[in-house]
Amino acid sequence: MVAPTTTATPSPAVGRLAAVQEMARLQRLLFEVEREFVRTATTLIYRVGEPELKFLLCQHVWESAGHARFLRERGRELSGFGTSDDVRDSLRRIFNEAVMPADATVALAGFYRVLKPALLAGYRHYLHVTDPLADWPSKKLVEEFIVDEERHAAEMAPFLPVATSVSEWISHLTTALADLGGFLGESVRIPLPSSFTFESATRRYAHPPTCNRGKYPVCSSVFSLDPAETPIVRSWLVDPQTDARVIRLMVYVWLMMELDAVDYLATIFYDTPDAPFDLHHDLARHLWDESRHSQFGYRQLPKLGVDLMTLEHSLDLYNILVQMPPHERYAMMTMEFEAGSFPTKALVMDRIRELSDFEADTLLAFDRNDEQNHVRYGHRWLPEIMALGGETRPVEEFVKATQEKFKQLAAIHGGRTPHSLPPAQRLTGEKILQLAK
Give 219's strand partners: 314
pLDDT of 187 > 60? The answer is: yes
Q: Which residues have a Cβ under 8 Å from the Cβ of 98 and sit 6 or more positions away? A: 40, 107, 110, 111, 114, 115, 173
pLDDT of residue 4: 47
Please check whether residue 10 lies inside any domain of the structure. no
Residue 6 falls inside a structural domain: no
Q: What is the pLDDT of residues 159-186, one digit of tens each?
A: 999 988 899 999 999 999 999 999 999 9
Q: Please give the residue that has the higher pLDDT: either 15 or 29.
A: 29
For residue range 51-95, list pLDDT tens digits in order. 999 999 999 999 999 999 999 999 999 999 999 999 999 999 999
Domain count along the chain: 2
Q: Is residue 208 situated within a structural domain?
A: no
pLDDT surpasses 80 at 5: no
Q: What is the pLDDT of residue 437?
A: 85
Quick check: 6 pLDDT over 60?
no
Say if 297 falls within a structural domain: yes
State the residue range of the domain holding 314: 218-436
* Helices marked H in 218-357: 234-238, 244-256, 259-270, 277-300, 316-321, 326-331, 342-352
In a domain, 362, yes or no: yes
Pairing of strands 313-314, 218-219: parallel
Pair (387, 346) in one structural domain: yes
For residue 9, tell me if it sits in a domain: no
The partner residues of 314 in beta bridges, in order of sequence, read 219
145 and 43 in a common domain? yes
Confidence band for 270, pLDDT divided at 50, 70 and 90: very high
Q: Are residues 352 and 276 in the same domain?
A: yes
Residue 12 pLDDT: 44
Residues 190 and 281 grouped into a single domain:
no
What gap in Å lies between CA 321 and CA 336, rounded to an integer?
13
Q: Where are the alpha helices (DSSP H) in 82-182?
A: 89-98, 104-110, 116-129, 136-156, 167-178
Residue where a domain terminates, one of 201, 229, 252: 201
For residue 251, the model assigns a pLDDT of 97
Both 338 and 403 in one domain: the answer is yes
* pLDDT, mean of residues 399-423: 97
The rounded mean pLDDT for the chain is 95
Q: Are residues 224 and 327 in the same domain?
A: yes
Check residue 1 and give its pLDDT.
43
Provide mean pLDDT across the span 300-317: 97
Q: What is the pLDDT of residue 161?
A: 92
Give yes or no: residues 192 and 229 share one domain. no
Q: What is the pLDDT of residue 7?
A: 44
Do 259 and 407 have their domain in common?
Answer: yes
Residue 110 sits in the same domain as residue 25:
yes
Quick count: other Cβ atoms within 10 Å of Cβ 424? 7
CB neighbours of residue 4 within 10 Å: 6
Q: What is the pLDDT of residue 335?
A: 95
Mean pLDDT score, 283-292: 98
CA–CA separation, 390 and 310 (whole Å): 44
Residues 167 and 297 in one domain: no
Averaged pLDDT for residues 218-238: 97
Between CA 283 and CA 300 the distance in angstroms is 26
Identify the domain boundary among 142, 168, 201: 201
User: Residue 94: inside a domain, yes or no?
Assistant: yes
Q: What does the pLDDT look like over 349-359, one tens digit per residue?
A: 999 999 999 99
The pLDDT of residue 15 is 77
Whether the per-residue pLDDT at 370 is higher than 70: the answer is yes
pLDDT at 140 over 80: yes
Of 170, 201, 232, the position where a domain reaches its end is 201
- Find the CATH number of the domain harbouring 132: 1.20.1260.10
Q: Do 239 and 312 fall into the same domain?
A: yes
For the chain, give the percent of residues with pLDDT over 70: 97
Quick one: average pLDDT of 203-221? 97
Query: What is the predicted pLDDT for the residue at 16?
Result: 82
Show the 3-state SS of 291-329.
Answer: HHHHHHHHHHCHHHCCCHHHCCEECHHHHHHCCCCHHHH
In a domain, 7, yes or no: no
Residues 191 and 228 in one domain: no
